Structure 1
């Protein structure tokens, strides 16, 4: 706190007509009013909620979520999705206790022991499939180990096998029960969601946006292949004389079709054969069209392009670091969502089975340190501390011109850079000011005060 005098602020007055707080909550405050049953964005409700993904509804054609499997078959889209998942999975994870009590710490140790016994990274990577499709489901197989109940394995299932009821509980769709599906036991299925909005338990994954980019890219490649085919083998044109019979024309056509593989052909006299070469002008190419959609895919998945694509003019290292930071931010976001899922479901179930009442621990993926950036920060702080230290030394040295301790103190605290010092530290500087008189200190730009001028100003104010 600054040692300068401040005017006291008037105390806030209570509102004159403030209502007394209600002791009991009304029933409406404890329930969800805008619920599934009155949601006009849901086409119909029959015990099983439907997807709210317009792309899936309009373009699915009965495939359902399998439509988005085609996105991962695209080399670039699949690689970018894998890159985003690996950006999180490659980080080290740790379990943080939910409280400070010994019971809470035992719960964290138990959860950590469970996860170390499982292929935890593989399980997390499977749950991160929700990034593309909106949700992912993992089934927990429990076992008894002495007095403890622990997860023996977690199997990631195909999302098409599940639906959700109005309480967002998963239901297993079977051939004998597609509507509304089989009811599932509690503490059995872990559901991780991405892009949840409103009353949509299915989430909204990146597939809704990536579908179009991959589709247009695929169509562009199809035209590109057709174009290359025209360049590789030009179209053969055979001009026949008037009056040639249809049968003879068909024979000539079959002969011309063999031109691509044959080194020599025979044609009737009077037949004119020529090659129609494919030609084009301008700078627009199919490659640019495909590269454009690759960039859109990169932006959609990772928010950047420079870590995977370099332009014709090359990349910039500083810009590349900025793009890498964007990827780290997305990994942080994915990690936070996954940590919330694990804490509210799997970690909660382990605690409920074994240590009921203990605080539920959290599982975090730690972002790796940027050693170069931290070294630069430490260097900058050290340089700033040295400048500040030299400035304070210069102030104390000049304060040695005052014999009166109170005047010397007023002079020292008149500089903003001493505001962070405690009263005890200021007293020590005042007492040691004469020891700095002979010190060899370089003039510092922070120190603008002159003891003589300060003393004259102070004397004038007293008069």
Structure 2
């Protein structure tokens, strides 16, 4: 019977189902394959040239782009972080405590900030320097590296470019380099960061500033015109031109008596607002990074309700960044700490606490506390009534019949029966759980901790 059941429930799995068929070797979107994969970022391919990812560093030179990027990053880093055990098993709990204590000894926020550079560039790499601490192996420090120093092989493992090997790089040891990725799609271990989209907005904004400066130079001040007598020598004309040029930055100047100097005001119809051009691209930058605008600039038509809605959108993006980072930290840093120190234990989660989770947890705690308080009041009322019954069996039936003690063991119910007289109304108007716990040792042993919370 057991043999037949095993045969019936066993499922066949083909060899093709166990591997990746659409891999990098047969990917038609990869122009050529030479053991290392190349970035699939069109912006980087078209505009990177010899600079590579350096062009995305230039994005942060724009004050608005830098501020909005920092806002998204800092909102995540400002959240508390925690480590949750993989299960309730003692070994898993001990392993989680070890990981938490290890991270507390490091500059954990700085480590996360370095890895979050992947949001802009697609990926980030940090190196772990390990050390022995008694019978444990822990990180001494974790150092962020420039992404331009790395390429990725077919196995998605990082390879370090050196002066001796500038194309394929050198193989790196396991459990050494943390790689965090953003925007991964297909066979592209480099990810696709926001820089691919921000590059154009910042470029167009920068070009607009250049035109604006040219406009101000041409129209903000008049053009000085100097007229010399007919037949003046070229040397005299050049001398006058130099004098007029200096007049643009000086309060007074001296020219020959027979020279006619006038000011030509540039005139044009209509309005030219380069400020609107720059504001437009600032708005596009904000939308690209934060998914909204009102938490950065409420504008003339903004409202509190709209800004709160936009804040929720930003919170979702920040939460998504936190989830991605948590996955990286769990699958790499936490996994390696467990492999070295608690082999076989469950890998704990390292995560940033979301405000909505904190609110929900607080509401849950309040709901449980209110329910417990109501149950306690009902229990006190039942015990007061049972205290008027001398017969233990009858009192027991009355207490059990109330349905309030269904979750208690037989031993606990017997102790309630014995302690029922402590709740009879006397000179005072009855006693609550705390008073009963103080006056009745058996009741205190059963409900002491619970009564203190109320």
TM-score (norm 2): 0.75
> Aligned to 1:179, what secondary structure does the other structure show?
coil
How big is the shift at 1:237?
Answer: 2.1
Matched residue, 2:46: 58
Matched residue, 2:328: 341
Asked if structure 1 preserves the Cα contact closer than 8 Å seen for 2:83 and 2:100, the reply is: yes
Aligned length: 362
How big is the shift at 1:197?
Answer: 0.5
Does 2:300 match 1:324? no
In 1: Cα distance, 2:359 partner to 2:138 partner: 42
> Aligned to 2:293, what secondary structure does the other structure show?
coil
Matched residue, 1:91: 79
Taking a change above 3 Å as real, the CA distance of residues 210 and 161 of structure 1, as seen in their structure-2 partners, is same
How big is the shift at 1:85?
Answer: 0.5
> Aligned to 2:24, what secondary structure does the other structure show?
coil
Instruction: Tell me how large the CA RMSD over aligned residues is.
Output: 2.6
Matched residue, 1:302: 290
Higher relative contact order (CA 8 A, sep 6+): 1
1:37-85 per-residue CA deviation (whole Å, 9 max, x = no partner) reads 1112112222221111111111112101111111111111001111001
> Aligned to 1:237, what secondary structure does the other structure show?
strand
Which of the pair is proportionally richer in helix? 2
In 2: Cα distance, 1:271 partner to 1:304 partner: 60
In 1: Cα distance, 2:168 partner to 2:358 partner: 54
> Aligned to 2:334, what secondary structure does the other structure show?
helix
Matched residue, 2:23: 35
Matched residue, 1:363: 350
In 2: Cα distance, 1:267 partner to 1:75 partner: 45
How big is the shift at 1:210?
Answer: 0.6
Residues 169-180 of structure 1 correspond to what in structure 2 (within 5 A)? 169-180=157-168
In 1: Cα distance, 2:181 partner to 2:111 partner: 15
In 2: Cα distance, 1:320 partner to 1:41 partner: 41
In 1: Cα distance, 2:364 partner to 2:14 partner: 53
Residue segments in structure 2 that go unaligned for 5+ positions in a row:
1-7, 368-402, 405-454
Residues 187-266 of structure 1 correspond to what in structure 2 (within 5 A)? 187-266=175-254
How big is the shift at 1:325?
Answer: 0.9
Match of 1:185 among 170, 173, 197: 173
How big is the shift at 1:23?
Answer: 3.9
> Aligned to 1:177, what secondary structure does the other structure show?
coil
1:217-257 per-residue CA deviation (whole Å, 9 max, x = no partner) reads 11111222222233443221224454433223222211211
1:397-452 per-residue CA deviation (whole Å, 9 max, x = no partner) reads xxxxxxxxxxxxxxxxxxxxxxxxxxx99xxxxxxxxxxxxxxxxxxxxxxxxxxx
> Aligned to 1:71, what secondary structure does the other structure show?
helix
In 1: Cα distance, 2:28 partner to 2:230 partner: 70
Asked if structure 1 preserves the Cα contact closer than 8 Å seen for 2:298 and 2:307, the reply is: no
Match of 1:350 among 320, 337, 340: 337
How big is the shift at 1:155?
Answer: 0.6
1:283-335 per-residue CA deviation (whole Å, 9 max, x = no partner) reads 4411111111111111111111111113134x311111111111110111001
How big is the shift at 1:205?
Answer: 0.3
Taking a change above 3 Å as real, the CA distance of residues 96 and 274 of structure 1, as seen in their structure-2 partners, is same
Match of 2:133 among 142, 145, 149: 145
Taking a change above 3 Å as real, the CA distance of residues 230 and 378 of structure 1, as seen in their structure-2 partners, is farther
Residues 121-132 of structure 1 correspond to what in structure 2 (within 5 A)? 121-132=109-120
How big is the shift at 1:268?
Answer: 4.6
Taking a change above 3 Å as real, the CA distance of residues 98 and 283 of structure 1, as seen in their structure-2 partners, is farther
> Aligned to 1:64, what secondary structure does the other structure show?
coil
Matched residue, 2:443: none
Residues 385-424 of structure 1 correspond to what in structure 2 (within 5 A)? none
In 2: Cα distance, 1:144 partner to 1:363 partner: 22
1:168-206 per-residue CA deviation (whole Å, 9 max, x = no partner) reads 000011111112111100000000000000000000000
